[in-house]
Every structure is written in structure tokens, then in C-alpha cells.
Amino acid sequence: MVKKQLPPLVTSIKSHKLQEINYAYQKSISYSQMSMFNKCPKQWQLQYRDGHMENTSNVHTVFGTAMHETLQNWCDVAFNQSVTAANKINLLDYFWEAFFKDAKKNLTKALPKEEFLAVENDVPTILDYFTKNNGWIFSRGNKKGGKWTLVDIELPVVLSPNFNYSNVVYKGYLDLVFYHERSNQIKIIDIKTSTKGWNKWQKKDDSKQAQLLLYKKFFMEQFNIPMNNIEVEFIIFSRQAKENPYSGAKTHVETFSSFAQGKNKINKAWKQLNNFIIECFETNGKYKDKEYEAKPDKWGCTFCPFKDNKLLCEVGVSS
């Protein structure tokens, strides 16, 4: 097979040399750390600063990992070979191989039977829906409008967000990055999995949007690409079918990009990130030696691994 010639910008992105992190004196941060700190500073302190790393893997995280790998593999084949070749992949077999691999690696106890049966029941329907609808979910474009090129899967972004805290380095991975040469547009896609999809309140949640807005900011700076040439989008795969409010049809997949992605919204997310850095780190990159506030509530504590450990957190709300 003749190897496809990549657009110059894609070649440049692929050959970019990343900033290296020296863990001897530098700290690596991520969106998930910032998000955890904003919800409960005490949980962040216990897990990341104090090193009480608890295994929080469950059926939902294993399902999410396996679905990510399945969809990313389909995109890799579809965009780098052909859609015909991608549609020949047995997605169900690929999913289960990824599922059991992650379960073996990360689960410390067997999945409850009822939880596994629910996944076993849902997955064939989701993948069947994807097979029938992947043309609009991951549009490849056409000859008249130009085609999208897959830039990379799990593309890393590594930068120090604050000049005064140069030893605090943000590291993230972009699920899927595409490039449309004719319009000179980059599209960054983040895949989300959910039991019932996102409701209107989840879509309005600034903390969810902040992840892609930060990725957009880092992509701009790392590759020197103008803000207006980058768009970001969530693709949400739900285990239970949702009803389309306009057509009434049942769907397992929805795309979501109808939120502000301009300078003001990016700056808001950037401010959140820098507040987290300033609150948690000294300028030399070391953790601040202080106790952080716990923010207990029934929902927030549900998935916290410290809620029943009164030696570490006295105020955790047990389920």
C-alpha cells in the first residue's frame, strides 16, 4: 500500500520535540488533578501530595478505557487506510479484549455479576449503532469540501502554564486530533462515556468544558497555531440510548461543541488552572506544606476512596 503524503502542518506536529519533565525536581499536573482540587482540596492533598494512591477503577472506568481504545483503533484504520477496512474490524471482539486486559491490570476484585451483565448487554447495541452511524460521528469530508486527516491519537501536550512556576508542568493527552487542510482547521476531540449521556446541566458545566478549553490553549502554544484555527468537540457515548429531542430517534452517541470556545472562556479556564498551581505549589515546584479543606457532600464523596477512612478524612460522607 502506498503511504499517504501528509500535509506539512501534520508532519510538523508529529515531529515536534516535547518538553521533557525531570521528576527529580519537577511536578507533573493534569486536568484531573485540577478538577479534583476544585471539588475537594482534601482529596487532592491525600491522593497526590501525600501519596495515598487508592485504586478507584470500577466497571465504568474499565468500560470507558475499552470503548476509547476501540473507537481510536477504528479511526486509525479508517483515516490511515480506508473506511472499508475499518468497517471490517470486529469491534465487539476488539472491545472485549481491551476490556478484560484493563480489568486484569486495574481491578483489585471481581466485577459484581449484575454490573458485568449490564455492560455485556449494552455494548453490542452501542457498537452496532456506531457501525451504522460512523459516517457522521467521524466525518472524513469529501473531495469537494476537502478531507480531514487524522493527526494523531493520544497526542501529548506538555507545557509549564505559569512562568513563575516553571517546575510545575502540565501534561495531557488529546484523544483524537484532526486537520482539514483546505480550511486550515484543527479539530480536537475528547471521547466521553456515560451511562445515560449528558443532560443540559452537565453540558453547561464550566468544569467539564475547561478540559477541552485548556487543551485548545496548550495546543495553540505548543504548535504555534492561531486560536481561531482550532475547534474542540466532545463525543459522548452513552450505554443507555437517549431520545433525540428534535427527531425522537434513539441514539447512543451525541456530539457537543456548542459552547463558547473563544478568548474569554479560555482565559477563565486558564485562571482556574493557575489558581490551582498557586494554591498547591511553591515557586520552586515543591508542594506547599499546608492542610487543605475537605468539601464533604453525599454526591462528591460517593466516589472518594477516603470517605470511610476517618484517620485520613474525618468528615467524609459514607454511602
pLDDT in tens, 240-249: 887 766 666 7
The answer to whether residues 209 and 259 touch, using CB atoms and an 8 Å cutoff, is: yes
Cα distance between residue 87 and residue 111, in whole Å? 31
> What is the pLDDT, as a whole number, of residue 91?
97
Say what the pLDDT of residue 248 is.
65
Output the pLDDT for position 249: 72
| Polymer length of the chain | 319
Q: Is the dihedral of CA 185, 186, 190, 191 positive or negative?
A: positive
pLDDT at 140 over 80: no
Estimate the crossing angle of helix 91-106 against helix 113-137, to 10 degrees: 130
Determine if residue 124 is left, alpha or beta; phi over 0 gives left, psi from -120 to 50 gives alpha, anything else beta: alpha
Does 141 have pLDDT greater than 70?
no
Say which residue the cell 490553549 belongs to: 217
pLDDT at 222: 96
Mean pLDDT of the chain: 91
Residue 287 domain-assigned?
A: no
Tell me the C-alpha distance between 24 and 234, whole Å.
35
In a domain, 235, yes or no: yes
Asked if residue 168 belongs to a domain, the reply is yes
Give the integer Cα–Cα distance in Å for 208 and 224.
25
pLDDT at 314: 87
Q: Which residue has the cell 451483565?
A: 117
Window from 89-93, 120-124, 159-163, 306-310 with minimum mean pLDDT? 306-310
CA–CA gap between residue 201 and residue 208 (Å, rounded): 11
Q: Which of 56, 57, 58, 54 is nearest to 115 (CA)?
A: 58
Summarize the confidence of residues 153-177 as an average pLDDT: 97
Mean pLDDT, rounded, for 15-30: 95
Q: Per residue in 107-125, pLDDT tens?
A: 888 888 898 899 999 999 9
Q: Which cell numbers hold the place of 135?
A: 459516517
Residue 185 scores a pLDDT above 90: yes
At residue 112, the pLDDT reads 85
Decide if 266 is inside a domain: yes
Domain count, the chain: 1
Helical segments of the chain, H only: 8-14, 31-39, 41-44, 59-80, 83-86, 91-106, 113-137, 200-203, 206-223, 263-280, 298-302
In-domain check, residue 146 = yes
List the one residue out of 169, 182, 258 whose CA is nearest residue 218: 169
pLDDT band at 318 (very low <50, low <70, confident <90, very high): confident
Nearest-angstrom CA–CA distance, 49 and 37:
11
Q: Residue range 97-105: average pLDDT?
A: 94
pTM here? Answer: 0.92
**Domain range holding 148?**
8-280
pLDDT of residue 159: 95
Residue 3: pLDDT band with limits 50, 70, 90:
low
Long-range contacts, 131-137 (Cβ 8 Å, 24+): 131/87, 131/91, 133/253, 134/74, 134/78, 134/83, 134/86, 134/87, 135/83, 137/235, 137/253, 137/255
Write down the pLDDT at residue 245: 65
| CATH number of the domain encompassing residue 184 | 3.90.320
* Average pLDDT value for residue range 177-199: 93
Does 154 map to a domain?
A: yes
pLDDT tens-place string over residues 285-310:
999 999 999 998 888 888 888 988 88
Q: How far is CA 206 from CA 102, 181, 266, in A?
A: 30, 31, 11
Range from 3-7, 31-35, 295-299 carrying the lowest mean pLDDT: 3-7
274 domain residue, yes or no: yes
Per-residue pLDDT at 217 exceeds 90: yes
Does 220 fall in a domain? yes
